[in-house]
Amino acid sequence: MAGSEAARENLDRVVEGAAAAHQGLLAMLDELVADGRLDAAAPSRLPRWSAGHVLTHLARNAGSMVRAFDGALGGEVADRYPGGTESRDAEIEAGADRPPHELVDDVRRTIWRLEQAWSGAVDWDACCREADGREIPLHHLPFLRWRETEVHRVDLGLGYEPTDWPPIYVRLDLRELEMRWNARRPMGMTGLPAEALAADPPTRLAWLLGRTVIDGLAPAHVF
């Protein structure tokens, strides 16, 4: 990314999109809490996860990215999730049963910290370490966060749907996941199935993300 004006313009666009997604999520949560309609124990659209699990995951995800940026400032390749997936899952489980206002405060505080990290003196080409051991550059994180926020807001099942996703997010993530789909197909058999191409872009993306079913197609299994 270093030295590429186009890459920096794209990063600006992604950070702006992720920040807007943050504000949309927080506004929705504040309204639900004010109306007494946020039930942390209610099932989400994810198997075995309540709304509290989803919100705790969003907070811990933001915190893991702050850890990555803090590590880079100290010249280290930081583990986003020290202890790996088991430790990450245990933290989510431990925080899922908190009262709604505590969950939302946690999401808000970690969002603020993450956005402050983005605005700091960041070497975007520095790397962090994922839970599976892969190292990725920091400039990948804002889009990953944008995806996390948009998709898990849908997973809450509280009125936000794939059709509400911003067109720019849909376009960017479709490009990413279609490339991933093609990379896993045998040579000469790339390209999404006709049934997926016939669906509107948000539905196509939701299918690639494993969030909806398209008649005649098996799950995409790319995400």
Domain that holds residue 206: 161-223
CA nearest neighbour of 153 among 107, 196, 91, 117: 107
Structure pTM? 0.96
In three-state secondary structure terms, 7 is helix
**Token output for 35:** 């109306």
Among 160, 183, 214, where does a domain finish? 160
Instruction: Say which CATH number the domain at 66 has.
Output: 1.20.120.450
What is the DSSP pairing of strand 135-137 with strand 127-129?
antiparallel
Shared domain check, 209 and 108: no
Shared domain check, 195 and 103: no
Shared domain check, 187 and 103: no
Shared domain check, 139 and 50: yes
Taking the CA atoms of residue 103, residue 108, residue 113 and residue 118 in that order, the dihedral angle to the nearest 10 degrees is: 130
Among 160, 187, 203, where does a domain finish? 160
pLDDT of residue 161: 98
Output Rg (C-alpha) for the chain, integer angstroms: 18
Cβ burial of 87 (10 Å; 0-12, 13-18, 19+) is middle
Q: Where are the beta strands (DSSP E) in the chain?
A: 127-129, 135-137
* DSSP bridge partners of 127: 137
Among 129, 160, 191, where does a domain finish? 160
Q: Rounded distance, CA 221 to CA 212, Å?
A: 12
Q: What is the residue type of 60?
A: R
Q: Rounded distance, CA 96 to CA 51, Å?
A: 8
CA 216 to chain centre: 28
Q: What value, to the nearest 5°, has the Cα angle with vertex 155 and ends 154 and 156?
A: 90
Place of tokens 């804002």: 142
Max CA distance (Å), the chain: 54
pLDDT tens per residue, the chain (223 residues)?
655 888 889 999 999 999 999 999 999 999 999 999 999 999 999 999 999 999 999 999 999 999 999 999 999 999 999 999 999 999 999 999 999 999 999 999 999 999 999 998 889 999 999 999 999 999 999 999 999 999 999 999 999 999 999 999 999 999 999 999 999 888 767 799 999 999 999 999 999 999 999 999 999 999 8
CA 223 to chain centre: 11
